[in-house]
Each structure stands twice: as C-alpha cells, then as structure tokens.
Amino acid sequence: MKKWKWFIELPATWVGRRFGHIGARRVLFSLLLLGLALLFQAQNILAQGGPELELTKTAYQAEVESGQPFEYVFNYRCASITEDCLDAVITDPLPPEVEFIPGSLTTTPHIASASYDPGPHTVTWTFANPLPAGSTGILKFQVRFPPGAIPGTTATNTATFSASNAADVTSPPVTTTVTGAFEMYAEKTGGPAIIGFPTVFDLSVRSPDDQGGVDFTAVTLTDYLPDDATFIDAQGNQCAGNVPPGAGDPECWVYDDTVSPRTVTWYNLPDVQVGADMTRQITLQYDADPGATQTNVMEATGTPEGCDDPANLPAYCNGQTERTLTDDLIIGIEQPYPEGASSKSATSPSSYDGAEALPGENITYQVGFSNTGYENLTNVVVTDTIPAEVILQSFTIGPASDPGNGVNGYYQVDGAAWIALPGNPYSADATIDATTLDLQGGSRITQLRWELGAVAIGGDWSSTVIAQMDPAITPVDPAATFDNCTGFTADQAITDSACATVSIIDERAIPRPGKTANAGTVLPLEYVDFTVSVRNESAAHLPLDNPVLADLLPAEFDYVAGSAAILSKPAGAPDPNFEVIPNYHGTGRTLLRWTWQDRSGGGCDSASIEGTCGVDASYSFQPGETAQITFTAQVKDRTPPGTVVNEAIIVDWTGPTDPDNPGSSDSRQILLCEPPDQYQDTHDLDDDGNTAELSCLAAESIEIGVYLAMDSEKWVRGSIDCSTYTADPACEPDDFNKLGLTTPGGIIDWKVETINNSNVPVTDIEFIDISPYIGDTGVIDLSPRLSQWRPNLQSEVVDFSGVITYTVFYSTSANPCRPELVPSGPPGCEAPMWSTTLPQDPTSVQSIKVSFCNFDANGNKLDCLRLAPGDTLTFAWRTVAPNGAPGDASCSTPLDDSFDPAANPDCQIAWNSFGFKAVEFRDRDEDGVNDPGHLKLLPSEPIRVGVRVAPKQPINLGDYVWLDVAGIQDDGIQQPEEQQAPWGVNGVRVELWDDLGLVMYDYRYTGPDHNGNPGYYLFPDLAPGNYRLRFFPPAGYTVVPANQGGDDALDSDGETQGTDPEYGVYYETTTVTLSPTITEDLTWDFGMYLPTDYSDAPFDNAVDFYPTSAVALDNAGLNPADAARHVLRNDLRLGATVDDELDEGSFEGGFGFDGSSIRGWQPIHASDMLVVPDLDSGWLVLTVGVGRPIEGLKLRTVAYAY
C-alpha cells in the first residue's frame, strides 16, 4: 500500500507560538482516503477515437423583420493531437421558413467546393482533403424570411459537420424569430380635373418596402365620390347586376348612386403582398366649376394576415381582425387651357457620340409637334430653319393625326419670301424632293413651313427632313457643331421650340476595348473568367490597323496558365501574337498582351512565359469587326476585401494614326476616348518607351469578400536531429520535424507556428501549451496524448517572428483551467496561477500561455497584435530530456520522423501539443478599436508532435545538486537520506565551460530525473577534453564546503567562487577531464543549505527528552539527528530528519523548516507547516492550545519520501 505524507498548513500567526503552551482543544478532521486519492491522481479521461470536430452556428440577430437578409455564421474547427480530418463536409438543411440568398455563400482556403441545392434546400461545404488538424475558420451565407412572413414565425436551424474519421457533430439549434407590423397604407392620386374633360384618379394600397410588413388579405376598395363629379368609369368589370359578387367570383366593382356620397366599390380583389402595391383607377368628370373645394376619399378594408382569429390575435393586430385604410385627395379644378410642344432630333450613319456627320453625308431630322393642352388649336404653323452647314434634300408633308385636315407647305430661298408647294394642300403624307423645287434664282432653301390648320386636343404631327452636310466643309479637331431648330405658332398665342445639334466629323476609326467578367463577389483563391475584346465600331469609316490589346492584371489576381483562348475574330483574321509577362516592368503585375502586328522580325518580350509570339499577325479591323478573347484569373490568397478594377486597354495601332507620334498624325481620323474611359500608357504596355500615349480602356469591377481562417503547426527538434536533417551538425531551423530524437539529458526544442490565412487581420491571439507528462491529455482535444516521460523546461519562450507585442505566462499546473480554449474548464482542472515571470526553477513549469497582447498591472489587456493576412507567428522554447530518460535502441531506426511508433512499442515517446484562439480585427469606424461585431474563430489544436530518446551517447557529465541539512547540517557530505528524493534541489543553473573559462558550451537547470527525483542535470554526448562546471546557487542558499569526506561521489565539487554579470555568484569546479575511455562521469555534485535556526525546541523532561543541541547529543553518544525535533507526539514532528544548527540560535528566531524538501513545492517554513508521517488511518487528530484559532487550515498530501 502506498503511504502518504500529510501537510497541514496553518496560519503563520497561529503556528508561530511556543508549542510548550499547547493545551486541550481537539479538532477532528474526517478525511476519506479515497477522496484524497481522487484529488491527487490524474483525472480519468475517456480516450476519444479520431479527431474532434466542432461547429457552432450563429445568427447574430435573434429577431429579424421579414424580407430582411440576415446571416448565418459558422465557426468550424478540426482539433486533434493524432490525425487530420478526412472527407470533411458541412451540410445545412435550411428550415422551410427561410429563403437562401444567392451569391452570399462564402468559403475559406480549406474549402474545395460550396453550393446551395434548391431541391433539398440545403447548403453544403466540401473541404479539401484532408482538413489539417489545427484548422479553424468561419463560413457565412445569408437567408431571409419571405416578405410578409407573419411576425412570431420562427426558423430553427442546425448544421452538421462530418468527417470519415471523426464523430459527426451538430451545431446547437439557432432560432430566429420574425418581427414586424402591419405597414400598408392607402393613397389617392390624380388630377387636376379639367372642366369638361374626363380625369383619371388612382386608388392604391401600398407597402412601404419589402421588409417587416404583413400581407393585406380580403381587401375591399371603396371610393367616395364628390357630389359635383360625374362618374364615368372604373377599372375592371362591373359586377353582374351591379350587386356584390359571391365568394370565389371574379373581381368586379359596384357603382352605388343610392347612397350619399356615391360609392364605387371593388370586391374580390387579390391580396396585397408586402413589397407590392395594388392600384385601381376611376374616371370622373367635372362639367362646371363647382365653386367649392372638392375632396375625394378612398377606403381600403381588409384583414392583415394572421389576424383572422379573434380569439388569438397577435400584438401586431392591435386587437382587431380588420383594418381600414383611408386617404383623401383635394381635387384641383381648372379651366381648359391651350398648350403645345415642339420636338427635334437628328442622326446620320456616322453618328457614334450624339449626332455626327461627314461632309457630304445626309442627316435625318425628325420635326414634331403635339397638342398637349385642353383646347383645340387653330392655325398651327410649324417652321424649321435650315442651317447654312447643310443642303436640304427632302422633307415630308401630311396632315396631323386629328382632325387630319390638309396641310399647306412652303419653303424659303435665301431668306426671301415664302414659296408655296405646288401640291398644296396635302391631305395625305408625301415626300417632297427639295432638289426639284424651284429656287427662283436663289442658291439654297433656308427655311420650311407647314400650315397644319386645326389640331385637336391630343393630336400630333411630324415630318422627316433630310439634309446633306455641305461637302465643301473641312472638318476640324475638335469637331465643329451647329444647331437646327424648329418651332410653332397658333391662334391661341402659344409657342414652343426645339433644336438638334450636329457635329462635323472626318472619316475615322473608332477603337474600343471591351471587358466583362462572370463574377460579382469572389473570395481569395476563387476564379474569375474574363472576356476582353478589341472592336472598330460600326460607325467608323477607316480600318483600325494592327492593334495591340493589353490587360495588366491587378496585383490581386494571378493568371491561370493556359486559360487564354480566342472566342471570336473576324473572318480571315490571324490569331494574334500572345504574351504572358510576369512582374511587368517591376510592377509585380502580370501583363497579358495580344498583338495583331508583324513580330516575325522580333519585338516579343523574352520574359513571356506563355503564348505564341514571333509571327506575322498583321490585320486591319474594318468598321464593325470585333475579336473576343477569354482567360481565367485566380484571386490571390489572402487578398483583402474591397473592390478591384481590371482594365482592358488598346495600347497601340499602326493606322490610321500613329499613337507614338500624334503630332504627325491627323487626329480627326481616330476617335479616342474621353475620361473616365481614356487611358494614358504610364506603364508602357506596348513596350515602346512612350508613356504619354492616349488610348481607350474598358474597366470591370470585382468585389473581394471577407473570409476568416487560420492554420497552426507544432514542431520539435532533439539533439540528434541537429545532425540528421542538415549537413551542419549545429541546430538549424530546418532540423525541426514532427517526431524528434534526443538522448537522456539532451536538448529538445519546441516550435509553434500559426499563419493567418484570412484576408483580414486577426487579433487577441493566445496559445496554451501543456508540457508532456505521464497521463497527459491534449489541450483542447482531451484524448490521452500517451506521453511516457516528462521533459524539463530550460528557457523562456523566444519569439522568432520579429519585434512584436506578446506576453508569456508560466504555470506549474499540468492541467490548468483554460476557459478561453475549453469552455468547460475542462473538468478537474486547477487554477493555473499564471505568472509572467519564469520561476527560479524553470523545470517546475508544466504549462505555457503566450498572449500577443500587452497588459496593465491589474492584468487587463491594453493593446494586442494585429496579425496581417499571410503573416506567421513563430515562437519556441527549450527543454531537456531528464536524467534516466527511457532511451532505447529501437528509437534510432530510422533517425528521421518517418519513424513508426506503432511498429516500435519499446520506444517511449513524449508527446506535446497546443491550443490557440484568435478573433477578427474589424475597424469599420476607423477608431483603432475592434468593432463589437467582429467574428471569433473557434479555438483549435493541431496534431501532436513527439520526441524519442536514443540510448546514452558517450561522453556524459553530471549529476546532482542537494540540500545538505540531514545529519550534520552543512557538512558537505551526502547522507543516505540526502540521496533520496526530497533532498535534491531543482532550478539550479549549471554551466559547462572550457577549461580556460573562455567559452560556455551549454547550460542546464537541475530538475527531476525520469523517476521524479529532484536535483539532477546531465551534459550528454560531449567531445573528449577538459571542462569546468559552474554552479549558481539560488538566492538565500549557502554553499557547503567542497571536497569533504574523501568520496568524490558524495562530496560537493564547487570550489572557486566567481560572479557572472547576468546570473550572479557561481562556484566553479576544478578541471574535469573526459576522454574516450571515460564515457560517463556522474560524480560532479553540489551541496547547499538554507541558513535557518532549528535549535529552539522546548526542553521538558517531565514529558519527553527534548535536547536542543546536536553537539550535546553527540557528546552524550546519542544521535545528533534527533536534535530540534519538535515532537508533539511520537508520530508528529517538525523537521523529522533535520539536524540542529550549531549556532545555538535563540527562541525568537526559531521554527525554521528546510525549504524545498518536498517535491514540486516552494521553500516553506515551520510557521506554515507540520509534518505527519506514516498516517495510514482515515482520521487525523490534532491537539492545539486552548484559545488558539485555527482559521486558514489546509491539508495536502504527497507520497511518503523520508
């Protein structure tokens, strides 16, 4: 049966009293040994098969209006210390109450495909296989309740995350509830009413928008007619017999003139849906001015959807099953008035940007007039002035639409008197050839006139006028313009005019690029298909000779090799020379260039990595000819969200102008673009050295969406790895691997890497690493890690990432509570008591937390690192394998991490893993503070890494630092008790130097050996030579005399005192000589003690013999080790094996207990502790002094050791 030693911690103010005054108060502690065993043995954790999947689903709005999009956010992670997640898939069968919003589905770099299938109404994400352990990310898509969904409707949704080697997990249900109100309203519009004319009025039931409302059902629409208005008609059919219809009959209306006011009512109308309107029209007429204000009232009565049960009315029903909506309109009454409008337009075959024409080219004008008033117009005369820049060719003449009277036409020559057309009046449409008209000695027709006569209300008229641009005009650049205007007069003293402007152009080419894409919003690593084109517009006259089309891809895109293809080209046109030039002119961007020019003699870029260049591809694009090309680009990984603009550019041509020398070209012969479609060749895309060329571009905008994902990895490097993976035996970064190899006492370096694979920054990053120990589990994945030995920490955590913000915390707990990673604690965890200071004994550290934040004195976060997309955090620390680590020859074959643990069961491995967390950094308001709505990644844990132990390598040097207080204190000789577990001292720095004291080779901190015995160190695998050791006693310890007792294996070897500027006082050994024949020397020990007075035990012969002097006992022939035992009972002592100091210290300085004698405890004094050995009973009886309180009593147990 294992024995336990009990420690009862008492308040110092209570214990620090003379024990001789103890009286008769008895305190009874009832402690079940089974319960104590549970407190001090490892928690029994069920091994889990395969990786651990986790999926949370969030709808950030628990309540949402119908029709309003809301977002489902999925946090996923694959956490495992042993394997990746295989065939991982997330499926989300959407509840029937919601609609999926196309285009809202996001991905991460972990996703191979994402889809929505409307059949089963399911969203599916399929992960790239495998999904690495330690992966975590966020996925999103949007849904909405259909417009008009009834408030109170709920949608409950869960999603499932599955993998072939892991148990499926289903996200907790997320319930979203519709909120809203009845929002419909009535609106009456129309008028003014013109006396004597019918006026149409609209009666509408309107929904303000498609969000948050409720449908209006069983609607009846009623219009209350003003008394002075005459009812003319209503929209739709009048009900049979002018009586209301039955249920299910078609919609119809009833006019009721038996009531006052009279009404028109529509029945069996369709429901009015949220986001839609319903309008019906009524026609009224006023035959005289009523002389009073006219008000027209409408009323719509119906039932808001969901309000049809009077016994169960939701709040939005306002306690009613029906609602009546009303609106009124004050009708303006006006007398009839005359009004007319003129119109004029122009076009020609050469028109491209407005009305344009060549000299000698015909321009077609449309001259128009309409009666827009409420009186018939009489004696309407339309005139059209012919500009001096054109020569009239023809015009049409004919009657107006109503009443269709014959039209008289006239023309004017050189501004002289009007000349009547010979065919007047024209009662049918006719075309007049102006070239056949009698100019009566003049030179040209300067004006036309059409006498329309009467034109009824609503009547209109038009004429087509064709004029030739004067061939004698010489175009200029910029183009000259002129106006052609028309107007009318009538007897009613009204008039109006209109003009058309024409530009005078020369023959020209019109080069235009085109650019389209098949995507609106994409994510990093997704693909976009672009189509680019070059076209000489059909309105051109000249060919576009030998153009060059270019696309300088934005830095956010990578060209997909081999994706470029010709979609279409003019018949007979060759394929262009094609080049793909990375990092064009140092821009970091890829240039795609298609050249329809002769490159057979050179001119191709030697940096091109794809395409065919070096052929004669000359071609002239005739007016109307187009070539189209498609290619695919991939959005670069971690491209930040935002708008990216991609441009296609025509950068060069050889005719009709020379873009390289515009001063020597006729600029009238080409129509280039104006801003924003104008391009200046600042990047010299045609590589001709000219960056001032002006041409045309076509732009396409692509939206880059947001995604959040991180990956992490753990690495290890043992001492043997440093000569395994690289030629240099020194330890290098490339020596890190997944299953390291070291020797007993050999170094083990652990490295953590995590990369931000998001396209947004992340912040509030934290890592927790729990060092291997027998019985350990993962940090997040609580499966057993199956470590078979424990390494000892030797250094602080070191950052390899550069100068960044981070804080390191240390804990001696092997199972610290870690709610930031494991919300459950996990069960059985203990308070970690994190400290930012590395303990004096680094080997006592079992857990490390790294937070990439700064903290104030109270532990509050001040500011945190913002890890940019694509950036990596790397940090590491050093441990050593303990003395006696279980080295085995099977661990060394093979040396690298292809080693198979399952095939070598005799090789004992220490496994390590870590967990991490992070959140999105979102600062849309640009205040430098993370916005409240930022996303949070699920904590995750990558696959464990391990380290093996090879057999001891020659030559080894060690070995032990002890507390010299048993027997005669400070005698410099290891007593048998001092060679046992409690007396070794951990945390003592030992340095290995060359014999001259010039070079420090290595260092160790003493720590537990493989069996848990404290105080050991080892320098393994040394080269033959002369060395010295330096021991650095911790503060407060006194060094014992060296070389006592004549036995090198039991003495202390620190001889010469020195001072190190960083670590303080040390004691150096004499020369240690190691040779090929001396493969191991473990005799280099170091003794210390704590100067504490143990000599004030009371002397009371009446009860027992309490000698206070070890010298007195020795002189009496008794055991000096019995000195200073504060014996309360035969089995209850203070400092049971501690000797009496020889300084005969006073009572007032008493009660010192040797510190650090209990494995894993900090030094402690007798005023804090009593020791009870060999307690086999479940009961402990403690007798204390009368009247002395025992508040603050604590019990602890450790295995019996001495």
Determine the Cα–Cα distance for residues 693 and 699; give it in Å rounded to an integer: 18
Q: Mean pLDDT throughout 194-222?
A: 97
Give yes or no for a contact between 658 and 690, defined as CB atoms under 8 angstroms apart: no
Q: Which one of 486, 504, 522 terminates a domain?
A: 504
pLDDT in tens, 665-695: 899 999 999 999 999 999 999 999 999 999 9
Q: For the chain, how many helices (H) and strands (E)?
A: 3, 76
Considering only CA atoms, which of 940, 565, 591, 996 is closest in space to residue 781?
A: 940
Instruction: Name the pLDDT band for 843 (thresholds 50, 70, 90).
Output: very high
225 and 157 both lie in a single domain? no
Amino acid in position 504: I
Residue 968 has what pLDDT? 72
Q: Mean pLDDT throughout 228-253?
A: 97
Q: Is the peptide bond before 955 cis (omega within 30 degrees of 0)?
A: yes
Determine the Cα–Cα distance for residues 787 and 911; give it in Å rounded to an integer: 5
- Check whether 1185 has a pLDDT greater than 70: no
Determine the Cα–Cα distance for residues 1076 and 1103; give it in Å rounded to an integer: 62
Residue 1114's H or E segment, with its range, is helix 1110-1115
- Check whether 1139 has a pLDDT greater than 70: no
57 and 88 both lie in a single domain? yes
The two three-digit tokens of residue 842, written as one number? 């680094």
Instruction: Name the pLDDT band for 1152 (thresholds 50, 70, 90).
Output: very low
Residue 9 has what pLDDT? 35
Which is more confidently placed, 189 or 39? 189
- Check whether 986 has a pLDDT greater than 80: yes
* pTM listed for this prediction: 0.70
Amino acid in position 424: N
Our CA dihedral for 191, 195, 196, 199, rounded to 10 degrees, sits at 10
Considering only CA atoms, which of 87, 139, 97 is closest in space to residue 121?
A: 97
Which is more confidently placed, 471 or 82? 471
297 and 310 both lie in a single domain? yes
**CA 1007 to each of CA 751, 912, 962: distance values in angstroms, whole numbers, following the listed order:** 22, 19, 11
DSSP-derived pairing of the beta strands 521-522 and 694-704: parallel
Does residue 526 form part of some domain?
yes
Question: In whole numbers, what is the pLDDT of the chain averaged over residues?
Answer: 87
Which is more confidently placed, 598 or 1179? 598
- Burial letters 525-549, b for 16+ CB under 10 A, else e: bbebebbbbbbbbebbbbbbbbbbb
Residue 44 has what pLDDT? 32
**3 state SS of 627:** strand
H-helix segments, 812-900: none
- Check whether 564 has a pLDDT greater than 90: yes
**3 state SS of 335:** coil
Name every residue whose Cβ is closer than 8 Å to that of residue 1014 and which is 6 or more positions away in sequence: 981, 982, 984, 985, 986, 1006, 1007, 1008, 1159
497 and 433 both lie in a single domain? yes
Residue 1148's H or E segment, with its range, is none
Which is more confidently placed, 808 or 924? 808
Does residue 413 form part of some domain?
yes
Considering only CA atoms, which of 1161, 884, 886, 910 is closest in space to residue 1016?
A: 884
363 and 463 both lie in a single domain? yes
Does residue 880 form part of some domain?
yes
Among 510-514, 846-850, 937-941, the least confident range: 937-941
- Check whether 124 has a pLDDT greater than 60: yes
Residue 1000 CB neighbour total at 10 angstroms: 12
Instruction: Name the pLDDT band for 990 (thresholds 50, 70, 90).
Output: very high
- Check whether 919 has a pLDDT greater than 90: yes
- Using only C-alpha atoms, what is the Rg of the chain? 48
Place of tokens 């801003």: 675
Determine the Cα–Cα distance for residues 267 and 594; give it in Å rounded to an integer: 67
- Check whether 230 has a pLDDT greater than 50: yes
Instruction: Write the CATH number for 389.
Output: 2.60.40.1530
Which is more confidently placed, 543 or 805? 543
Determine the Cα–Cα distance for residues 545 and 620; give it in Å rounded to an integer: 4
Considering only CA atoms, which of 769, 763, 853 is closest in space to residue 807?
A: 853
Q: Which one of 504, 528, 558 terminates a domain?
A: 504
Degrees (nearest 5) of the Cα angle 938, 524, 113?
Answer: 75
Q: Mean pLDDT throughout 146-170?
A: 96
Determine the Cα–Cα distance for residues 919 and 915; give it in Å rounded to an integer: 14
Instruction: Write the CATH number for 977.
Output: 2.60.40.10
Q: Mean pLDDT throughout 27-46?
A: 29
Q: Mean pLDDT throughout 369-394?
A: 97
- Dihedral class, residue 228 (left if φ above 0, else alpha if ψ from -120 to 50, else beta): alpha
- Check whether 597 has a pLDDT greater than 50: yes
**3 state SS of 1111:** helix
- Burial letters 428-455, b for 16+ CB under 10 A, else e: eeeebebeebeeeeeebbbbbbbbbbbb
Considering the chain, what percentage of its residues have pLDDT values greater than 90?
A: 75
Determine the Cα–Cα distance for residues 221 and 266; give it in Å rounded to an integer: 5
Does residue 934 form part of some domain?
yes
Instruction: Name the pLDDT band for 772 (thresholds 50, 70, 90).
Output: very high
The alpha carbon dihedral of 566, 568, 574, 579 has a sign of: negative
- Check whether 1125 has a pLDDT greater than 50: no
Determine the Cα–Cα distance for residues 303 and 277; give it in Å rounded to an integer: 16
The two three-digit tokens of residue 922, written as one number? 């979102």
Q: Mean pLDDT throughout 935-950?
A: 93
Q: Mean pLDDT throughout 762-789?
A: 94
| N- to C-terminal Cα separation, the chain | 16
Instruction: Name the pLDDT band for 1092 (thresholds 50, 70, 90).
Output: low
Considering the chain, what percentage of its residues have pLDDT values greater than 70?
A: 86
Give yes or no for a contact between 133 and 913, defined as CB atoms under 8 angstroms apart: no
- Dihedral class, residue 657 (left if φ above 0, else alpha if ψ from -120 to 50, else beta): beta
The two three-digit tokens of residue 951, written as one number? 């057999």
Among 280-294, 698-712, 1001-1015, 1188-1202, the least confident range: 1188-1202
- Give the single-character DSSP code of 1191: T
Does residue 113 form part of some domain?
yes
Instruction: Name the pLDDT band for 1164 (thresholds 50, 70, 90).
Output: very low
Which is more confidently placed, 332 or 1128? 332
Give yes or no for a contact between 708 and 937, defined as CB atoms under 8 angstroms apart: yes
206 and 329 both lie in a single domain? yes
92 and 115 both lie in a single domain? yes
315 and 370 both lie in a single domain? no
Instruction: Name the pLDDT band for 1155 (thresholds 50, 70, 90).
Output: very low
Determine the Cα–Cα distance for residues 1155 and 1014; give it in Å rounded to an integer: 13
Instruction: Count up the domains in the chain and report the number.
Output: 6
Residue 374 has what pLDDT? 96
Residue 150 CB neighbour total at 10 angstroms: 17
Residue 28 has what pLDDT? 26
- Dihedral class, residue 602 (left if φ above 0, else alpha if ψ from -120 to 50, else beta): left
Determine the Cα–Cα distance for residues 368 and 500; give it in Å rounded to an integer: 12
Instruction: Write the CATH number for 298.
Output: 2.60.40.740
877 and 743 both lie in a single domain? yes
Does residue 524 form part of some domain?
yes
Instruction: Name the pLDDT band for 18 (thresholds 50, 70, 90).
Output: very low
The whole domain housing 593 covers 511-577+586-599+616-659+666-704
Residue 48 has what pLDDT? 41
Secondary structure of 19-42 in the HEC alphabet? HHHCCCEEEEEECCHHHHHHHHCC
Considering only CA atoms, which of 1075, 1098, 1087 is closest in space to residue 1037?
A: 1087
Residue 147: burial class (beta carbons within 10 Å; 0-12, 13-18, 19+): buried
Residue 631 has what pLDDT? 97
The two three-digit tokens of residue 1183, written as one number? 């007798």
Amino acid in position 1035: A
Which is more confidently placed, 1093 or 939? 939
Residue 387 CB neighbour total at 10 angstroms: 18
**3 state SS of 671:** coil
- Give the single-character DSSP code of 182: -
1030 and 1064 both lie in a single domain? yes
Q: Mean pLDDT throughout 377-392?
A: 97
Q: Mean pLDDT throughout 83-112?
A: 94
Residue 1158 has what pLDDT? 32
Place of tokens 């020195």: 1058
Give yes or no for a contact between 994 and 1113, defined as CB atoms under 8 angstroms apart: no
For residue 229, report the phi and psi dihedrals to the nearest 5 degrees. -90, 145
Which is more confidently placed, 952 or 803? 952
686 and 767 both lie in a single domain? no
Does residue 1184 form part of some domain?
no
Residue 1179 has what pLDDT? 42
Instruction: Name the pLDDT band for 1091 (thresholds 50, 70, 90).
Output: low
Residue 206 CB neighbour total at 10 angstroms: 18
DSSP-derived pairing of the beta strands 495-504 and 356-357: parallel
Residue 867: HSE in the Cβ half-sphere, 13 Å Cα cutoff: 31
Residue 23 has what pLDDT? 28
The two three-digit tokens of residue 52, written as one number? 């651990």
Q: Which one of 949, 983, 1010 terminates a domain?
A: 949
Q: Mean pLDDT throughout 479-486?
A: 97
Q: Mean pLDDT throughout 190-204?
A: 97
Q: Give me the count of residues in the chain.
A: 1202
900 and 764 both lie in a single domain? yes
Does residue 311 form part of some domain?
yes
Residue 1118's H or E segment, with its range, is none
- Burial letters 61-93, b for 16+ CB under 10 A, else e: eeebbbbbebbbbbbbbbbbbbbbbbebbbbbe
